[in-house]
Structure formats: structure tokens, C-alpha cells
Structure 1
């Protein structure tokens, strides 16, 4: 059964798309694709603004994102260093929708080409990508994204607390499969933020590794 929020979204989207179709003649036929994407995104932002639920907004963004896929691929294929707010906004929407692989792909391009966040955003791209991916207690299947985000942003300045949070998450997720790597990440987290709450786990891993090293060899 559809939620009231989903029903409202579908009705609103239908209305907005119909209005956009009627107003299409107002946009010259020879206008660039970027202008068309900008106009479409403005309409989508209006739809999103009317939705109060963060969860529902994320769901709606996931629904809308395929409409920008070809444009994003085209921009990244061009290798342009020009600021691309649409591209960066797609990165943010992919983050919100849980598409971390897609978000990281765009983030890597944006950082490599010197792009920044759209206006009215206080945070920058590397801080945002690492903060969001490491947030909300990531699951084991998200470990590759946490590690990729750490590697992607390692040379960028950001608040120590954000970097510590990411390394803490990586350490927690690696603890069962790679204690040595987990310990390394937790120590980095401790270094960046002494209040990150990893001291106990560091002690446990150090003891675990020491005990394993002192264990008698198997016959």
C-alpha cells in the first residue's frame, strides 16, 4: 500500500511534469542541454521542498536520479574543469538515496576537476562525502565505500572529527576480519579525535593480536 507521502509525491510530480511540458515552448529549441537540465532540476527541487519526510525525500530522489544519468555521464566524459552545480547536486542526491558507489564516482570527478559545492552549502565536497558515508553506523556491506571515501579524501582538509568518525567506522567494520587493519584505523581515529570513544576497542584488539602472536604453532 502506498504511503500518503508517496501518493502526494506522485500527484505532485504528474502535475509538475504536465506543467513543464506545456511550458516547454518557452525554452528555445536551440538552448543547451545544461540549461534544460537546470530547468528540470529546479522543478524537481520544488517537488522535494514540499516533502517534509527525509526518508520520503530520499525515496523521491532515487526515483528522479535516472533522469540525470546521461547528462552526468556526458559531463564526466568531457573532462571539463568548469563548475557543474547539477553534477554536484546529483552527487548529493545519490548520497541521500544511498547510492554511495554513484556518489563516489561523481565526487572523484568533481574533486579531480576542482569543483565545489553549490551556493548555500556550508560544507565542502570531501567533508560531505566522508561525513555522510561514515555516518549512521555503516553496515559491513558498506565497508568498501567507507574505505574508498577515506582514500578519496585523505589529502583534503576537513574537521578532525569527521575524519575520526570515518576511521572509527572502518575500524569497527574490519575488527572481525582484519584486526591489524582495524587497529590501525582506530588509532588514527584516536589521533584525530581523542574523544572518539575507541580506547576500549583499541585495547581489546591489541590484546587479541598479542595473544594470537603468542599462540603455540599448530603441529
Structure 2
């Protein structure tokens, strides 16, 4: 039975109060419709914030506490359906640096083939791949560990996800160069004394080239081969 205007108004107020109290919303067609209205309102408010720092703070302190209970309830239940709240929470978790939970929930979203928001041009696997690689690059440049999140995502890229060749090439290139890091974190074949590591790096870079012959790995591979020759002639 259709709700009256007054009933819809009261239901929306109740939905907003439930979210404000950081409680899970009930699962029903009416509830889900109201969820989407509230989610759209929250996303609009987020986009109105001009500074990246303010948006990250809003995601961490307001949006995630507001929406995670409802998503957790969905994940604990048996019903499966298109769930934008799950997708947005994955995005916000990545944006706030909650890598472990972001990847856990991303795995679910990808398995369920959840769609990204309309303003995103990529699929969920492509988004996760790009986001984790950007994070790993930043971590590596700062001399910080990229594990376990890099290897976890790289395994998915190699064994499960079908991604554009350019994304694959970037991942294999990064993985290969990462094995060549010197004490300053820079890729340098002459800094590596282990032939097996050099061969592993070369194999990764060769795969990057196979995905995209403009991936820019030729020079690094030449230096690896020269280093291997130098070590094996000793």
C-alpha cells in the first residue's frame, strides 16, 4: 500500500534519526528507498565541501559511522541486491586509509558485481587496483611498507580480475621495480646482489611490457641483464 505524504515524511525523519544514532536501518523496499534518499543527500553534502582535508574528515567522522552499521547488517544478512551504500563505504574507507576493511568489503562488492557511482568511470576492480597502486607508490616513496595490501591486491589482479592492459602493465612494472630498490628506495639494479631476485624483477617487467609495449621498462630490463652478467661472471 502506498504511503501518504505525511507517512513518507515521518518515515524519512525516522530514517535520518536512525542513521544519526549510528544504528542499522531495517531492510525493506520502503526502507531502502529512504536509504537512497539519505545517501544522496549525504553525498551531495560531501561534494559541497571545497577542501580535500575537510572531505576526508567528513567521511571519517560523519559518513562512515553513519552508514557502516547499515552495511554491516546487509553483509550479515542473506539478501543480496544492488547496494550503493556498500560501494560508497568502500570508497570512503580507502579515502580515509582504512585499507584492510576497504579491501574486505571491496571483495564482497566485486563478487556481487556492485556498480560504481555514476560519476566514476571505472569498475570496482579497476578502482581498487588504481587506488591501491597509488597508495603503494606513496608508501614506497616514503620508505614505508606496502604489505600486506599490495600483495593481496596483486594476487587478485593476477588470478581473478580482468582489467585493462594498461592497469596490469602499471602493476607489473611497479612490482618489478620494487624488487630493485636501493637503500634510498630507488629502483637500481646494481643495488641487488641476488641473481634470483633480479630474474624475478625482469620477469615482472617483461610481463608489464607484454601488457603494454610502451610501459617504459626496456632500460630497466637492460640494466638488470647487465647486472646479472656482472654477477655471474664473478
TM-score, with length taken from structure 1: 0.71
Instruction: Establish whether residue 167 from structure 1 lines up as the match of residue 166 from structure 2.
Output: no
RMSD in angstroms over aligned alpha carbons?
A: 3.1
- Note the alpha carbon deviations across 1:90-147, whole angstroms, 9 max, x for none: 1112222233322211111112223222334321111111112213633232253233
Is the 1:130–1:162 contact (alpha carbons within 8 Å) kept by the matching residues of 2?
A: yes
Q: Distance in 2 between matches of 1:151 and 1:26?
A: 40
Structure 2: state its 5+ residue gaps. Answer: 1-11, 19-24, 182-191
Bigger drift between 70-79 and 127-136 goes to 70-79
Distance 1:27 1:145, change over 3 A: closer
Instruction: Establish whether residue 59 from structure 1 lines up as the match of residue 57 from structure 2.
Output: yes
Q: Distance in 1 between matches of 2:59 and 2:17?
A: 28
- Note the alpha carbon deviations across 1:140-179, whole angstroms, 9 max, x for none: 3225323322222333333211111122222222324844
What SS does the aligned partner of 2:224 have?
A: helix
Correspondent of 1:192 among 198, 211, 221 = 211
What SS does the aligned partner of 2:175 have?
A: helix
Correspondent of 2:161 among 137, 152, 156 = 156
Deviation at 1:73, TM superposition (A): 2.9
TM-score, with length taken from structure 2: 0.67
Distance 1:175 1:46, change over 3 A: same
Instruction: Establish whether residue 182 from structure 1 lines up as the match of residue 201 from structure 2.
Output: yes
What SS does the aligned partner of 2:148 have?
A: helix
Distance 1:139 1:214, change over 3 A: farther
Q: Distance in 1 between matches of 2:224 and 2:117?
A: 42
Structure 1: state its 5+ residue gaps. Answer: 1-22
Bigger drift between 192-201 and 147-156 goes to 147-156
* Residue correspondences, number: 193
Is the 2:106–2:124 contact (alpha carbons within 8 Å) kept by the matching residues of 1?
A: yes
Residue number in structure 2 paired with 1:146: 150
